[in-house]
Amino acid sequence: PSQSIMLKDRPSHKAPSALGPRRLQPWRVRLPSSEPPELSVLLVRWNGEHQINAGVEGDGGWGKFGCPPCDDYVSCMVSTGVYGHPALGGADRCQGSFEIFSLFVKHSRDMLESAPMAPWMVAHMKGRKKVSFWLLWPAEWEDAGGADYAGYIEKRAMFGTMRAYEAAGLRSGFPHPADLYELITSKSWLCSLALHPQAHCPAATLVSKGSVTGGGAAQAARKALTALEQIRRRNPFPCKPGERPAPSNINKNGVQKGVVKLGWSWEGRFVLSFESERELAQRLTEILTTPGCMASTCIVQEWVDFDFEMRLYLLPPDDWQPGVWLAPAKVECNSWGGFSEEGRPHTFRKLTEEQCLEWWEQDVDALKHATTEATELGQFLLAWLLCMDAQPVPMVRMDFMISRLGKGQARVVFGEYCELGACCLAWENGPPTIWRAALDSALK
């Protein structure tokens, strides 16, 4: 490397210094050329006190690639995704028609301080196309020490910085543009879609922190349940004659059971169940007044009876035409063991198709009906995202709660949008497929 370039080892606290000769595989060196590379990529990465491990294998793990903020994921994305892309690495993976910059942040302050660098950073990127990959998780929490908080950046710092780079001319290609990424991870769409019959969503409403801390949690809980009743009455959940009450049996005579959840929360955290108005008041207080929580609202949602979740991975092509039915690239299922006494979900379990059929007494037609119904709902939900951003998402995961109603029949309830880069469960080729979609989109 040029002696004018100062390099620093990430884990050490030593001052940057020049390096002597280094051994390097020839295919990792781009030959001198007057032509610009096809793509410049800025990777915004974690470099906090605690590193993020790839994660364990098994039902609760992210698989062999790990999660987006971890080093293993980024390394594989570059070696497999970027070098393996025909327009970037070429047929022999030696073309090297790309350049990669990494921006390492330790905390939210680092993120904010990088925003003014945006014009300078973009000016130094020489690719025909330029894109940024934001490999961190936005959260509504104050920065805190400890491994449990590694990879999280306070959401205003995160999205404000993303917008600064977008304003300087750098597209956000992973997971999404700032506005759409903020919308998806906020979970506020749960409330926006609650009155859409085509969305098949449970009733949901937002409760402000001020109404809990200022007006009293009991009053806030009572008003939340009243709001859920009003929403459900205005948009009754589809239920055919003879079918059990929808979306739950316990709420057939009035909403008394549901869940409280925070936006910008990850991996099943900060979801609490309640079974009465009094318990709802307790959950509202607990979730909104936890030390360090910066959330101004939480979501209260009616309960849904379901057997397991079905997750559809949808990858709309860049030239996706209106009216063209889009099939999922992959379908994965999982179950939960229930909720603890504290109201938290537990015992996440991945399910194979054989295990789903065993659960449903080998009712192949019911599982096929659930898959078809979820895919059909997905068409509307993709179109709704186009209302939020005219550019189709390269990839989105949609989670549905499904239950068997009888022979050959199933009920499907929409549960969640998940961003590009979300966990792929048992889909081993999922991350490489997602990287290819993100890079294809960046090259358009």
The pLDDT value given to residue 21: 85
Query: What are the phi and psi torsion angles at 371 (to 5°)?
Result: -65, -45
CB 263 within 8 A of CB 182: no
Residue % of the chain over a pLDDT of 70: 98
Mean pLDDT score, 39-57: 84
pLDDT at residue 12 is higher than 70: no
The pLDDT value given to residue 255: 96
**In this predicted model, what pLDDT tens digit does every residue of 208-236 receive, in sequence order?**
999 999 989 999 999 999 999 999 999 99
pTM for this one? 0.94
**In this predicted model, what pLDDT tens digit does every residue of 346-376 receive, in sequence order?**
788 999 999 999 999 999 999 999 999 999 9
pLDDT at residue 166 is higher than 90: yes
CA-to-CA separations, 163 to 24, 170, 181, 212, in angstroms, rounded: 36, 9, 11, 32
pLDDT tier at 145 (50, 70, 90 boundaries)?
confident
Closest C-alpha to 418, from 430, 402, 403: 430
Residue % of the chain over a pLDDT of 90: 77
- Token pair belonging to 293: 């929580």
pLDDT tier at 9 (50, 70, 90 boundaries)?
confident
Residue-averaged pLDDT of the chain: 93
